[in-house]
Amino acid sequence: MAWFKNWISGKKKPPEAAPAESGDTPLEEEKPAEETPAIETEPVEPAPAAPAPQQQEDPEEKPEEKPEEKPEKKKRSAWSILRRGLEKTRKSIAGVFSLGRAIDEELVDEIQDSLITADFGPETVTELIEGEDGLRKAWKEKKLKESTEVRDFLKDLLKSNLKKRDNSLLQATEAPTVILVSGVNGTGKTTSIAKLAHRLTAGGKTVILAAADTFRAAAVEQLTIWSQRLGIEIVTGEADSDPASVAYRAAEQAVESGADYLIVDTAGRLHTQTNLMKELSKIRNVLEKKVSGAPHESLLVLDATTGQNALLQASNFLEAVEVSGIVLTKLDGTAKGGIVVAINNRLQIPVKFIGVGEQIEDLEAFDPDGFVDALLDSAESTS
């Protein structure tokens, strides 16, 4: 009826509409769409294929941005994990750095006692307090006046001390890098191996495990379960079989497959058993025959909760096995985090990894700056 009213009013649109509909409907359907953009082209414009792919490209760009954000989150979480793990030690020391407290003999003695209680070790504490560059001398020379200054002063001394030795994981000049792991039962050795393997594979490296603790079925079973969870290969042997044979077969497999790392778990009997020491020496020999320079890294796992007894264990292992680095576990379960410094100083062996929790991610590469900050920052401060 609309065309009829227009025709009556003299606009004569019906004749124009008639040829448009009847003349070239298959060919001229595109023309009306162009001639009447106000009515038909507005709903048609969003439909073309051109804008659609532009909207599909945006989601493809977003996933590329996410990996860039992940490293930042990992760094923040690593600091959080470390700080959480050292919480007990930090709280045990924090009280002596009371805000605005003047330095006097009593405060110096309290700081000394706190460091000894946290298992920094008598040699380290003596160096920090009474040494040539120690706290007492700095105070006497009026370089320090308040307790808050003491915190930063001790931080600088500890960081300098811990940086004397290389804390990085040693690498072979040509793959595979062979890592031999030792430690008494109960230190968290097997779990630490799994955590180390996780760190390496997360960095894109291929890892093979060797379950050479053949005299303890539970150790082989536990490591096998971890290998399945992590999706990595493991070489095992029969119960009570020669551990050196397992290590040798694993070395062969690592070479043939082109693996980046081979981590060898060894028996974890008490350090007083001389047979264990002979066994470790044999494993080292067979590894070297198959892979030049192996083992390239020899890690000793120690339990931080045992305090000074960990130093005794390490000393006994060092009599038979060359140790190049320490893995210190269970720092989250003790207020004696100073043992890291004591081990580093007395044994002259760098601490390379610290365990600060039960999760698979809770093995941190030892960073002197981050460790000292997490250890001596105020108990209330946050990352």
Amino acid at 282: K
pLDDT tens-place string over residues 101-110: 788 899 899 9
Q: Is residue 296 a contact partner of residue 169, using CB atoms and an 8 Å limit?
A: no
Burial (Cβ within 10 Å: 0-12, 13-18, ≥19) of residue 248: buried
Three-class DSSP category at 304: helix
Can you give the pLDDT at residue 289? 93
Q: Which residues of the chain have pLDDT under 70?
A: 1-79, 98-100, 269-273, 320, 378-383
CA 315 to chain centre: 28
Give me the pLDDT at residue 344, please: 86
d(CA 142, CA 128): 17
Look at residue 84 in the predicted model and tell me its pLDDT.
Answer: 79
Backbone angles phi, psi at 197, to 5 degrees: -60, -40
Burial of 383 (0-12, 13-18, 19+ CB in 10 A): middle
Spacing of C-alpha 58 from chain mean position: 32
The whole model's pTM is what?
0.73
Q: What pLDDT shows up at residue 218?
A: 86
Residue 190: predicted pLDDT: 92
Buried b (16+ CB within 10 A) or exposed e, 152-169: ebbbebbeebbeeeebeb
The H-assigned helical ranges of the chain are 2-8, 14-22, 25-28, 30-35, 42-44, 51-85, 87-94, 105-117, 122-130, 135-140, 147-162, 189-202, 217-230, 243-257, 274-290, 308-318, 339-346, 368-376
